[in-house]
Amino acid sequence: MSVNVTDVQIRDAAGQERRLGDWNGQVLLIVNVASRCGFTRQYAGLQTLQDTYGPRGLAVLGFPCNDFGAQEPGTLPEIREFCSLTYGASFELFDKVHASGTTTEPYTTLTRAEPAGDVAWNFEKFLIGRDGTVLARFKSNVEPDSAELKSAIEAALAA
């Protein structure tokens, strides 16, 4: 089933309601992030993707999530400081979400896209096309610098 996220309401780091449609025309990489996870090192790779592909229209959007092993217990200011100081990450972070069980947006909508189902762990990635359509889903073990992810981003940017 094709899923479009344009009308999905999210809450930014300042607590303001936004629509994912605010990024229409850009390719999005939506990631549920956590600061105390074995995959936390992916922050650096996600920032590299933002730096490399941002000028061509990619926006990495991080959604802190404490659902998996309570690995994101901090407040949003603490998370932002950690990401910046430890990994040089400056891509946009949003209010904390639930990506499993009783989900909150954007995951209530994202997990309906094929292959549908709950997010399994931290750092699962959803690639969204310029038109707001979910293009692909990558499990946590797919590193930001993997050929699989980078080729999918490049194809989405070229579309």
Are the beta carbons of 116 and 74 closer than 8 angstroms?
Answer: no
- Please tell me the predicted confidence (pLDDT) of residue 106: 96
- Please tell me the predicted confidence (pLDDT) of residue 102: 87
Domains of the chain, residue spans: 9-158
Which positions of the chain have pLDDT values less than 70? 1
Strand residue runs (E) in the chain: 9-11, 17-19, 27-33, 58-64, 92-93, 125-128, 134-138
- Please tell me the predicted confidence (pLDDT) of residue 1: 66
Prediction pTM value: 0.96
- Please tell me the predicted confidence (pLDDT) of residue 56: 98
Active site residues: 37
Class of domain 9-158: alpha beta
Q: What number of other Cβ atoms are within 10 A of residue 82's Cβ?
A: 17
Question: What single letter denotes the amino acid at residue 139?
Answer: K
**Angstrom distance (rounded) from CA 86 to CA 24:** 31
**Both tokens assigned to 67:** 């659902």
Question: What single letter denotes the amino acid at residue 20?
Answer: L
From residue 30, how far is each of 51, 91, 111 by CA, in Å?
16, 11, 12
- Dump pLDDT digits (tens) for 77-109: 999 899 999 999 999 999 999 999 888 999 999
- Please tell me the predicted confidence (pLDDT) of residue 159: 94
